[in-house]
Structure 1
Amino acid sequence: MVAVQKHGIVLEKREVDFEIEGVLNPAVIMEDGEIHMFYRAVAKGNRSTIGYCRLSDPLTVAERLDYPIMSPEYFYENHGVEDPRIVKIEDTYYMSYCAYDGINAFGAVATSKDRKRFEKQGILVPQVEGDQFREWLHFSGNINLKYFRLNMGNNYVWDKNLIFFPRRIYGQLFFLHRIKPGIQMASVDTLKDLTPAYWEDYLQNLEDYIVLDPKYEHELSYIGNGCPPIETEHGWLLIYHGVHDVVSGYMYTACAALLDKDNPAKEIGRLPYPLFIPEAEWELKGYVNNVVFPSGAVVLEDDLYIYYGAADERIAVASCKMSELLQELLLHKTI
């Protein structure tokens, strides 16, 4: 098993209105030796904005703003902008996030040239009602029946956990998203290509776009994207979350998989056990119990630092050796 060191809490909520209920699920990006963190901040009423802090090293907060850098503006996000992830592709930062209106949850994105002023580009994922989604799905023995059972009715299908690959592949923008219970991938030349017609054709052939589905006991209920993919010599390292039932409800765990560098839809390897699980008091008890939710990572030489939401109330960090993790994934090849 991969040796993981938990370094503890790196950011906690404060007596400031916009984050008085919790801080969690951060996006991180490292530039010029500093780590920039964009985190979900929760105000009373479970209304979320995105806050910002700067770390001088993986464990030390050097600067923290007393106000959000991104707030709800549009009807589709009027209850919150949640769970950001960030990458830089060429000269543009892409901050993906969950737009929540109190009922529906959709993956959206905002872009920036300077990492300070973000321009919202809107919802990227399909907006389709459950019954329509089920009608479009092609049933076969190869598709998990939970795609039918978890997405039904006249409410929109929740499609969140949107993360971009940090560079273009064959000239296209690639991103992962999540319709329960698995993880899917899409690619386009430009964001404008994500039209209703694109998504109708995509969903009618969803089986072709599924990257990962639940496989092991610790992820049996469903899985979802975590940190943006990290490019390595062996492929794209994906740190994601797995969910399974326990007596008190769901438990969220941190998981790892390796995707093919040239064809990221192809799974190379996957850990048959969680990378780490809720164990500490601050992971077991909080706004939502039994949660470690990885959402951002940085690599320093051979050290992989994974930032995660702990019990939906605070932000913590764990680390492991990148070489050890990759070696373990290659020992558990799925192809």
Structure 2
Amino acid sequence: MEIARTDIRLVPDPSRVLIRPFIPRGETRLMKIISRVMALPKETVKRQLESVLSEFANRHIDIESIFEHHYSMVKDYMISDLEPSRERQLLIGSLFTSEYSLECAALFNPSIVAHPDQTKLPNGSLRFIMSLRATGEGHISSISFRSGIIDKNCNISFTKTEPFVAQPQPISNSSYDKDTFSQKLMEMGLYNDFSSKIIDKLNNTFTLQELTTTLENSFEPGQPSSQTKDDTRDGLIWLARSNYEIRFSSEQEISQRIIFPTGPSEQNGIEDARFVLFTDDDGSNVYYATYTAYDGNKILPQLMATEDFLKFKIFTLNGKAAQNKGMALFPRKINGKYAMLSRQDNENLYIMYSNNIHFWHEMIPLLKPTFPWEFVQVGNCGPPIETSEGWLVLTHGVGPMRKYCIGAILLDLDNPRQVLGRLSEPLLEPNENEREGYVPNVVYTCGALIHQNKLIVPYAMSDYATGVATVDFTSLLERLKLS
């Protein structure tokens, strides 16, 4: 059995820049910057704005609206109520704006799923969406997307990558379920008399604004607060802001959509999204992605859901088993329960079951390092793939010199705790053209799919770029069943 590498290489493109607020610290500094603009003659303002627009307008969609928004973020620091002209507002906004190169450092750790739109395709072809971890300045990671087509002969082509990228808009009326919210508060150690009173005043579903208003009304003017109340208030807001919704414009192509860290739990990175097309008991479909949120101090597994890759809901994952990296959801329930692969201890692979996709308490050991190429650590490389012979799971193993390789196992369909087959040698290991990068000697994937009896494996090369390989599925299955 051979794995065939294609000539596809997705490499970091520093020209793909996102426009971001740039707000220096310190109220005095903000006031000084604004005052300098306010002191400029009208003609100078016009000339400076024209220069900025000439240099940057062709790099972004509707840059003037962005400048207006960024001006609104700092207008309260003006020293008078005098309303500046629109030109002066735009120039002020430009001074509080910067470009962020999303993928200047790396474009890696891909996952791949069938596109929700399979119309207008030749017979035997499949349209796909690939997610990638894009890493830029400060090693902050976000989710980038690409799309393409796999034809009946398993030739892979990518849709042209659009030059403009943009963040989604937050959905301001995102709502929360009281019971789920309360359970998470208990897990965080924040369910006390104060939080209980706050929760009791809220409806069964509530918004961030309703939570904020209730909190504000609970602190009476002139009444002393306490450390417990302050910490609880901050925790309530943290939890709400870590569960949010976003929406892209339908006019944006998939390659223009960037999910940049938004919630407080992920402010330093959204890492290694594992997308899966999940089919519920009623036949409805939704795309889920488990990913690692990093706030600069700790990592947390989180979940996002979308039906169309336009609107996304982001959730915290809860329970004692919702920890560490590398959680991967099965594409359907098993014996009436959600099922998930996970890595609890930086060494072994576990399986988990739950009645509620948001809460995970039960963890069962599934796989231990057994072969030399995985003696350091074994984990999953994406969601399990359902086949007639069992669940195909790509694994990763870490061996000598911290070399990462990709392997494969086969699990029983009805009882995935039963391992039916396991490769004793890597399916894919870094070759001489793939071992140099940000983290040397690594091949890694966050998800694959089967098309026309071929396993399509997009994979990261040393945490820098992404390639694609294919494997004859029948040959792989035979090798697994013989192991």
3-state DSSP class of the match of 2:350?
strand
Question: Which of 89, 108, 112 is the matching residue for 2:278?
Answer: 89
Aligned partner letter, 2:339:
F
Aligned partner letter, 2:426:
P
Aligned partner letter, 2:108:
L
- CA separation in 2, counterparts of 1:274 and 1:294? 13
Higher RCO (CA-CA < 8 Å; seq separation 6+): 1
Would you tell me which structure has more helix in proportion to its own residues?
A: 2
1:18 aligns with 2:102: yes
1:160-198 CA distance string (max 9 Å, x none): 11111111112221111112201111111222443xxxx
Contact 2:130/2:145 (8 A) holds in 1: yes
- CA separation in 2, counterparts of 1:119 and 1:69? 14
**Judging changes above 3 Å, is the alpha-carbon distance between structure 1 residues 193 and 82 closer, same or farther for their aligned structure 2 residues?**
closer
- CA separation in 1, counterparts of 2:417 and 2:293? 25
Correspondences of 1:27-46 after superposition (within 5 Å): 27-31=111-115, 32=118, 33-46=126-139
- CA separation in 1, counterparts of 2:277 and 2:156? 22
Under a length normalisation based on structure 1, what TM-score does the superposition of the two structures give?
0.81
- CA separation in 1, counterparts of 2:5 and 2:134? 22
3-state DSSP class of the match of 2:265?
helix
Aligned partner letter, 1:210:
P
**Judging changes above 3 Å, is the alpha-carbon distance between structure 1 residues 269 and 275 closer, same or farther for their aligned structure 2 residues?**
same
Residue of structure 2 in register with 1:252 after alignment: 404
Residue of structure 2 in register with 1:221 after alignment: 376
3-state DSSP class of the match of 1:323?
helix
Residue of structure 2 in register with 1:169 after alignment: 334
Residue of structure 2 in register with 1:71 after alignment: 260
- CA separation in 2, counterparts of 1:163 and 1:87? 8
3-state DSSP class of the match of 1:160?
coil
1:116-159 CA distance string (max 9 Å, x none): 2211011346389xxxxxxxxxxxxxxxxxxxxxxxxxxxxx61
Deviation at residue 53 of structure 1 after TM alignment:
0.9
Question: Which of 220, 241, 244 is the matching residue for 2:396?
Answer: 241
Of the structure 1 ranges 16-25 and 112-121, higher mean CA displacement relative to structure 2 is found in 112-121
Question: Which of 56, 63, 69 is the matching residue for 2:149?
Answer: 56
**Judging changes above 3 Å, is the alpha-carbon distance between structure 1 residues 114 and 164 closer, same or farther for their aligned structure 2 residues?**
same
Deviation at residue 107 of structure 1 after TM alignment:
1.8
**Judging changes above 3 Å, is the alpha-carbon distance between structure 1 residues 178 and 299 closer, same or farther for their aligned structure 2 residues?**
same
Correspondences of 1:256-275 after superposition (within 5 Å): 256-275=408-427
1:314-333 CA distance string (max 9 Å, x none): 1111111100001001111x
Q: Which runs of 5+ in 1 are unaligned?
A: 129-157
- CA separation in 1, counterparts of 2:273 and 2:374? 22
**Judging changes above 3 Å, is the alpha-carbon distance between structure 1 residues 127 and 276 closer, same or farther for their aligned structure 2 residues?**
closer
- CA separation in 1, counterparts of 2:292 and 2:2? 32
Residue of structure 2 in register with 1:326 after alignment: 477
1:181 aligns with 2:347: yes
- CA separation in 2, counterparts of 1:27 and 1:42? 16
3-state DSSP class of the match of 1:166?
coil
- CA separation in 1, counterparts of 2:347 and 2:442? 18
Deviation at residue 276 of structure 1 after TM alignment:
1.3
Question: Which of 160, 177, 180 is the matching residue for 2:325?
Answer: 160
Under a length normalisation based on structure 2, what TM-score does the superposition of the two structures give?
0.57
3-state DSSP class of the match of 2:395?
strand
Contact 2:316/2:358 (8 A) holds in 1: no
- CA separation in 2, counterparts of 1:117 and 1:329? 39
3-state DSSP class of the match of 2:327?
strand
Matched residue count? 287
Contact 2:266/2:294 (8 A) holds in 1: yes
3-state DSSP class of the match of 1:64?
coil
Contact 1:107/1:177 (8 A) holds in 2: no
Residue of structure 1 in register with 2:52 after alignment: none
Aligned partner letter, 1:275:
L
Aligned partner letter, 2:269:
G
- CA separation in 2, counterparts of 1:238 and 1:127? 20
Q: Which runs of 5+ in 2 are unaligned?
A: 17-100, 119-125, 166-256, 280-284
**Judging changes above 3 Å, is the alpha-carbon distance between structure 1 residues 47 and 170 closer, same or farther for their aligned structure 2 residues?**
same
Correspondences of 1:68-217 after superposition (within 5 Å): 68-90=257-279, 91-124=285-318, 126=320, 159-179=324-344, 180-194=346-360, 199=361, 202=362, 209-217=364-372
- CA separation in 2, counterparts of 1:124 and 1:324? 39
What is the RMSD of the two structures over their aligned residues, measured on CA atoms? 1.8
- CA separation in 2, counterparts of 1:221 and 1:307? 24
Aligned partner letter, 1:267:
V
1:95-132 CA distance string (max 9 Å, x none): 1111112232222111112222211011346389xxxx
Would you tell me which structure has more strand in proportion to its own residues?
A: 1
Contact 1:124/1:191 (8 A) holds in 2: no
Contact 2:331/2:384 (8 A) holds in 1: yes
Residue of structure 2 in register with 1:134 after alignment: none
Residue of structure 1 in register with 2:202 after alignment: none
- CA separation in 1, counterparts of 2:12 and 2:317? 28
Aligned partner letter, 1:258:
L
3-state DSSP class of the match of 1:289?
coil
Residue of structure 2 in register with 1:153 after alignment: none
- CA separation in 1, counterparts of 2:462 and 2:318? 28
1:17-53 CA distance string (max 9 Å, x none): 0111110011210232211011100011110000011
- Choose 1 or 2 for highest CA Rg: 2
1:234-270 CA distance string (max 9 Å, x none): 1101011100122xxx100010111111111221110
